[in-house]
Amino acid sequence: MVGPPSGAHQGWAMRASFSKDRSVTEHRLAPGTVRRILGFARPYRRQLVAFVALVLADATVGAAVPLVYRSIIDDGITHGRTGYVAAMAGVLAVLAVLAITISLTQRWFSARIGEGLIYDLRTQVFDHVQRMPIGFFSRAQTGALVTRLNGDVQGAQQAFTSVLSNVVGNLAVVAMTLGAMFFLSWQLTLLALCLLPLFLLPARWVGQRLADLTRVRYQLNGEMGQMMTERFNVSGALVVKLFGRPEDESANFGDRAAKVRDTGVTQAMYGVFFMSSLGLLAALATALVYGLGGVFTIRGDLAIGTLVALAAYLNRLYGPLTALSNVQVDVMTTLVSFERVLEVLDLEPTILDAEAPTPIASGPVSVELDDVTFRYPTAAEVSLASLEGVAVLDSTSSGDVLRGVDLRVEPGATLALVGPSGAGKSTIAGLVSRLYDPTGGAVRLGGVDLRDTTLAAVRDTVGVVSQDVHLFHESLASNLRYAKPDATDEELEAALREAQVWEVVEQLPEGLDTVVGDRGHRLSGGEKQRIAIARLLLKDPGVVVLDEATAHLDAASEEKVQAALHRVLVGRTSVVIAHRLSTIRDADEIAVIDGGRVVERGTHEDLVARDGLYAHLNRTQFGRSEQSNGRSPVVADEPITDTPTLFVGGVEPVA
């Protein structure tokens, strides 16, 4: 945000505008952008009118001051009218106070408008992005999205405040100053203006250089930051410790930092050159005015007060004139920022509530995949090129991940999905919770096609424990209450007990109030899974989808997860992506997925007897588990024991 267009701020505002890319002036705006931007201004139209009025008032007061100087000298001092001089000095004081008051009020309005607009844009963008399908988040670079939106929202805001005050304010100042100067002495004014091109042309050149340098510096700073974040996060630091040569890293970093230093020096010199030449120009023009004007005054062609006033006006003229020479860049920059924000708001959320939604029955309902074909959306379908820093988005499709999948789970029954890594198991889980819509066929809950109901209904019906559990950087209690905001502490405890994780929580430094998540207290993989199960129990959905972690758990942890899972499955329809034998054996049906198709279906015994992929997976997995933990191999016809057996995860694709 840039303050009122008066005095000392001019130079700064001008230099700030150079930091923007001149290439934006060649950008073509989408049709209707300006009209839409005006739509955003609509709620602020009263404030905007007041703001513009104040900007004009500011320029008028500023332009009046030199006239008062003239009057003090010509009408007061030269005629020896003490009273008049004192009165006019009083007028000067009043004008000074008035100028301050105006710029304070003006600033208040511009802050109100600017911050209000930022608020409007931010909340709209947040709401909108939140409604985007998961595919958007897996394609868009979240970092770029966040920085871009932060930056662009602020840039858009400047369209109203800084551009308005710069353009309107500077135009007003230049017009009034020039008018007053021509009125005082058109000859001197024309002469003083002759100096202007001498300055404006080099100023544009320096401006271009400064813009280039600034871009280079942003780039270099970005690289430096990137290097630091990469090296200084835990995993990066670990690689450097284990493999890296710290001297090389330091030298590499030193090189980049040195480039930043060098461009910094050049940039500072250009900046100071620019500012001093502006000063020099004003000084030269003043010399000219005093020199020529002085001669005119001696000849009696010009009053002495007029001369002083002309010199005072000159000082007010050059700043605004140079700022106006860059105004095109300023205006375009803000318009482009606005356009980028609008672009995000224009992205269609593809997964939406049905117009006339059918409710889903409560309780354990059936889950059905009817001839489902699915491919993941391409970047071009879900994201924006400008968000990913590329000109054209990748539109090559990954191909069908699921092909003709038919599955049905009766109410209250359990279906286990097994298969090699990358077979499409997690994809099926995503379709059941409507993270994606199938490209062909239908997914139904209780007989209702998910596209014919609301997202809220699907959320209420289906609970998911995903393959990698995410906890927010918040207290454990608030992480759990994400599933049930009004849950009491007792309910939380009961759920945690059921999920076999209460003992762990009890041991935490602050119990339920311990901050967990990536930067909080670290829980082990197994503990996190059980917390997620507790969260699911609080939600109490009719259908559960469990994507068991493939991470190897130790026997004790495994046993607890198993017991917790057991609690979850009772009285619910469930789809379990299973890596553990006990889960699979308890299932009513097992579907073996390979290459996006259901290749085998049946119970454990059926499938072992069939001697297909399942039997193969079964053999290879147990062969490995025998080696890794020294347990006896489980054979198919062995009676199910209470001891949970490790069905080792990370199933490898079968050759």
Ligand X SMILES: Nc1ncnc2c1ncn2[C@@H]1O[C@H](COP(=O)(O)OP(=O)(O)OP(=O)(O)O)[C@@H](O)[C@H]1O
Inter-residue contact 580 to 550 (CB < 8 Å): no
DSSP type of residue 612: S
How buried is residue 186: exposed, middle or buried, by Cβ count under 10 Å (0-12/13-18/19+)? exposed
Stretch that binds ligand X, among 354-362, 407-415, 416-424, 475-483 (CB under 6 A): 416-424
Q: Of the two residues 468 and 489, which places its CB atom closer to Mg ion in the complex?
A: 468
Window 439 to 498, contacts with ligand X (CB under 6 A): 467
Residues ≥6 apart with Cβ < 8 Å to 315: 282, 286
- Nearer to ligand X by C-beta: 517 or 595? 595
Question: CA distances (Å), 443 to each of 47, 50, 595, in order?
Answer: 52, 57, 19
Min dist. Cβ of residue 385 to ligand X (A): 18
Residue of the chain from 57, 188, 314, 423 that contacts ligand X (CB under 6 A): 423
Asked whether position 427 contacts Mg ion by CB under 5 A, the answer is: no
138, interface contact from ligand X, Mg ion, none, CB < 5-8 Å by kind: ligand X
Q: Which is nearer to ligand X, 497 or 552 (CB)?
A: 552
d(CA 247, CA 352): 54
CB of 533 to ligand X, least distance (A): 18
Smallest gap from Cβ 425 to ligand X, in A, equals: 3
Residue 539 binds which entry of ligand X, Mg ion, none, CB below 5-8 Å type-dependent:
none
Q: What does 316 interact with, of Mg ion, ligand X, none (CB < 5 to 8 A by kind)?
A: none
Partnered with residue 516 across adjacent β-strands are: 521
645 binds, among ligand X, Mg ion, none (CB under 5 to 8 A by kind): none
Q: What is the DSSP letter of 387?
A: G
d(CA 436, CA 418): 21
For residue 403, give the H/E element and its range: strand 402-409
Q: How far is the CB of 421 from Mg ion (least distance, A)?
A: 7
- Residue showing tokens 């602050």: 510
Q: How far apart are CA 347 and CA 350, in angstroms?
A: 9
> Looking at beta carbons only, is 403 or 481 nearer to ligand X?
403
Of 401, 471, 499, 512, which lies in the binding site for ligand X, with binding defined by CB under 6 A? 401
349 binds ligand X (CB under 6 A): no
The window from 161-169, 226-234, 417-425, 630-638 that contacts ligand X (CB under 6 A) reads 417-425
Q: How far apart are CA 261 and CA 221, in angstroms?
A: 10
Binding mask 368-387 for ligand X (x = CB under 6 A): --------x-----------
Of 408, 405, 409, 382, give the one whose Cα is nearest residue 393. Answer: 382
**In the complex, what is the shortest distance from the CB of residue 260 to ligand X, in angstroms, rounded to a whole number?**
37
Q: Which of Mg ion, ligand X, none interacts with 154 (beta carbon under 5 to 8 A by kind)? A: none
Least Å distance between CB 463 and ligand X? 18
- Reference 117, options 48, 44, 167; nearest CA is 44
* Buried b or exposed e, range 267-296, using 16+ CB within 10 angstroms: beebbeebeebbeebbebbbebbbebbeeb
Sign of the CA dihedral 180, 185, 187, 193?
A: negative
DSSP label at residue 521: B
Applying CB under 6 A, among 60, 138, 315, 366 the residue interacting with ligand X is: 138
Q: 3-state DSSP call for residue 440?
A: strand
User: Residue 326 Cβ, how far from ligand X at the closest point, in Å?
Assistant: 45
Q: Cβ of residue 467: shortest distance to Mg ion, in angstroms?
A: 5
Q: 19 in the Ramachandran plot: left (φ > 0), alpha (ψ -120 to 50) or beta?
A: alpha
Shortest CB 138 distance to Mg ion, Å: 14
- Separation of first and last alpha carbons in the chain: 62
For Mg ion, the nearest residue by Cβ is: 426
401 is in the binding site of which of Mg ion, ligand X, none (Cβ under 5 to 8 A by kind)?
ligand X
Q: Does 424 bind ligand X (CB under 6 A)?
A: yes
The Cβ-side half-sphere exposure at 29, using a 13 Å CA radius, reads 19
- The three state secondary structure string of 487-509 is CCHHHHHHHHHHCCCHHHHHHCC
Residue 376 binds what, of ligand X, Mg ion, none (CB under 5 to 8 Å, by partner type)?
ligand X
The nearest distance, CB 549 to ligand X, in angstroms, is: 10
426 part of the interface to ligand X, by CB under 6 A: yes
- Binding mask 326-345 toward ligand X (x if CB under 6 A, else -) reads --------------------
HSE-CB at 530 with a 13 A cutoff on CA atoms is 29
Q: Give me 51's structure tokens.
A: 């703001």
Contact between 426 and Mg ion (CB under 5 A)?
Answer: yes
Stretches 53-61, 249-257, 425-433, 598-606: which one binds ligand X (CB under 6 A)?
425-433
* Residue 454: Cβ-neighbour burial (10 angstroms; 0-12, 13-18, 19+): middle
433 near Mg ion, judged by CB under 5 A: no
Determine if 396 is a binding residue for ligand X (CB under 6 A): no
Site string for Mg ion, 381-420 (x = CB under 5 A): ----------------------------------------
Least distance (Å) between residue 425 CB and Mg ion: 5
507 is in the binding site of which of ligand X, Mg ion, none (Cβ under 5 to 8 A by kind)?
none
Q: Residue 398, interface with ligand X (CB under 6 A)?
A: yes
Cβ 420 to ligand X shortest distance, Å = 7
User: From residue 16 to residue 55, what is the string marking binding to ligand X with x (rule CB under 6 A)?
Assistant: ----------------------------------------
Among 427, 475, 582, 625, the residue binding ligand X under the rule CB under 6 A is 427
Orientation of helix 304-325 relative to helix 246-299, angle to 10°: 150
Element (H, E) at 145: helix 142-160
Q: Is 425 in the site for ligand X (CB under 6 A)?
A: yes
CB of 448 to Mg ion, least distance (A): 26
Indicate the residue among 57 and 145 with the shorter CB distance to ligand X: 145
Question: Residues in contact with ligand X, total (CB under 6 A)?
Answer: 13
**Burial category of 510 from C-beta neighbours within 10 Å (exposed 0-12, middle 13-18, buried 19 and up):** exposed
Tell me how far apart the alpha carbons of residues 236 and 240 are, in angstroms, rounded to a whole number: 6
| Complete edge-to-edge strand list for the sheet that includes strand 573-577 | 462-465, 543-547, 573-577, 414-418, 589-594, 597-602
The interface mask with ligand X, positions 214-233, x = CB under 6 A, is --------------------
CB of 584 to ligand X, least distance (A): 14
Interatomic CA distance for residues 398 and 139, integer angstroms? 13
627 binds ligand X (CB under 6 A): no
> What minimum distance in Å lies between the beta carbon of 398 and Mg ion?
15
C-alpha triplet 646, 648, 654: angle, nearest 5°: 140
Binding site for ligand X (CB under 6 A): 138, 376, 398, 401, 419, 421-427, 467
Binding site for Mg ion (CB under 5 A): 426
